A and B are shown apart, each in its own frame.
Chain A
């Protein structure tokens, strides 16, 4: 079926440390992998996405890596700040259908 496993479900780090969230997806034909950040009571906000023609993409303190062979992709946040605290969702688009299948979410807490 179409699913994505996301780990860990909760992550607590000290300010300035790095945070890594990992996802494993089911559909090998997928080629679009976005990450969303959702603050409490707010909408999911697209923070970075990657397409399968690249293995890594970086935007300031956030980066995403993709291993299509292993069907894994990961979000890396460096130099974490308290305002990074939120729920992060990975997602993928099965066979470019347009719909997004979301992971279960990771609650990131950055302690000052």
Chain B
């Protein structure tokens, strides 16, 4: 099973600041990595697939990068609605696995 480790666990930032979230895989997943956003009481929302492709309707301030084992989700300038929990997920191998999440909170 591929283990995805996200860091940091919590990121405390102010609106307008840049957020950088990390996801590291226990073995190479090539570019088969996605990012999801989840707000309290809501289902997750797909943000990024294939490491760097924004999903339909996702603002350009969200960007993804990386390949192999190291990946980054960057939010260029935090909007109030971006404070949430973010998960990475791989589709390279079965079982599909998620990281444990990074909470982006208001400082």
A binds B: no
Interface, chain A (partner B; CB < 8 A): none
